[in-house]
Structure 1
Amino acid sequence: MTIRCLLLCLTLLSVTSLAHAAPRQLTLFSDASLIEVEIAAKKGVAEFSFPAPIKETTLRVRPLDNSYSIGRVDLLPFKTSDKLQKELDSLTEQKHRLEDRLKALDTREGIFAAAAKSQSSKAPRKTKTNPDPMTSVRQGTDFAIAQLEAVFTARRRAEQDLKRLEGKLAGLQKTAVGGPTVRVSVTPATGRIKVAALLKDGGWTPRYDIRIQGNGTALLSLAAHSSVSLLDGYAVSVTPAAVSAGQPIQTYPFSTAGSAHLADWQLLTEKEQVTTSPTPSFSLTLKNTSPAPLAAGKAVIYYAGEYLGTTDFPGLAAGATTTVTGPK
């Protein structure tokens, strides 16, 4: 009986945890990205740190139940941790020192290059103090060249160290960029809220697959590609609309490849010129017979199922025509 009660309690705890899991949604509009997160308050306070900077005046906070009420809302700016900032400062100082060393090596190279040139251009003159002038000239030239070799080696090592350091610094700087933290007082103390805001950067870019069918038509497929790195732990979807259209009526899920298939159109083609081998090329005029304008983006061209390359796709109004050539 005791074991049964324990199993029942564990099951209820598991269900409760799932019910209170914080769903995270990222919706990509054509010109912006909307982040929405559900969070539960602890001791009357709910906090959420945005993973990236947000646009001003776009923050919204609402209770998820009519019995909940929202009190004070504070938006705290992003702050790099002291440990990370210390490491960033240390790497930046190392970078400046390597850059200073490279400048010094440039100066040393100029000095010893001039010395080598001066030694090699000297007219040998035998004197009492210099009975073998040719040997002295060779020794001076060899010394200058040896110093130049040392400079070249030191520069190569410094450049390699600088490249590695810049890579490490760039990686840390990415982790040092984040969004603000929203802090909300909630009643009751365990109330749940939904936080939403537009990210400062985001949206999606069009990518078209144009499949030339050789009969005066081409199948044009529109896919949405994210213009920013997708966030881990978020359900990502895309809508063809702009953010000014309001809450999206229809959304499409992103695939694991980071794209979403939005629409297909059968368009009329003219002046098809296709070469498939040995060097592929294509040129064709497309007429937008769809009711919707097609935004500018990138296009991938196929002919009889064969990939021929990519090209730029200019914006195309409904009923208008354009010519695409490539590959580019």
Structure 2
Amino acid sequence: MKFPRSVAVLAAAALALLPATARAAEYPDPEPLTGQQVIHDPTVVRLGSGGYVAYSTGGVIGARLSKDRVRWEDAGDAFAAPPSWWYEYNPTGDPWAPDISHRAGRYWLYYAVSSWGTNHSAIGVATSRSGLPGTWTDHGKVLTSDTTDTWNAIDPAVIRADGRLWMTFGSYWTGIRMVELDPETGKARAGAPVHHLATRPDAPYAVEGPYVVRHGRHFYLFASYDACCAGVNSTYRIRVGRSTSVTGPYTDSTGRPMLEGGGDLLLAGHGRYAGPGGESVFRDRGQDWLAYHYYDADDNGMPKLGLNRLTWNADGWPSLR
């Protein structure tokens, strides 16, 4: 999830226009981690073979491994080299913002390829039996967008709901979208409508990095608002809304629609932890966890892995520990 610095300035200005719809602005620090913590746009899963893998923007989808969710080691890349079709969308074959999930006996890795400031973009998919780096088989394009479209096909995240498979995606332009996938191929169903889930009232519509999870009878849409990728000057923050339908409409706890800029503030920068976002949710031993990156003000703004326990209050709204 990347965008021009000029847009970052506009997004920061737009921040002042977004009302605080959430709880008191007191945020927990991320869990203490050791080892290789540098990461951007993390997606994490507990592997069936034991331990954890995190994939991220950087490299040919950078990989980190951990035995205990505390100490992380560099594990190279998901792919040895970029698939040739990536170069249609990025001159260096640079993939962004992956999403890992498991179904039908395989791990599925979704990712995006694009360039700064354009929605000439594509989402691809690969599969692996083990989920480990170096074991992935690429299956090509899932969904594309071009300059004639009003959305941007990056930042994918997949959810199964009521026997169907869905993918959220989107960055700037008109915000967050969702499309149904064919569970056999993992790709967008031919002719499937593109649903609109969230946006901001004014250009540059600074919302991206969606992730949908189900808890109880609701679906929850997490998204990154404002600007990333500017080190300690990043204004990223994570907001959330919910719906009884996976395709929306999503509203925050005050009833404000996310299509009108709503969203409860779940996590924002505090202390050394600037610009938290690029989030995803994973389940581990019956508990939900939020994974995200932040920019470490004590380490020259280096992007690092943040992990916090995700809990749910009596009204069904999420909070962090």
TM-score, normalisation: structure 1: 0.21
Kindly name which structure, 1 or 2, has the bigger radius of gyration based on alpha carbons: 1
Greater relative CO, 1 or 2 (CA 8 Å, sep 6+): 1
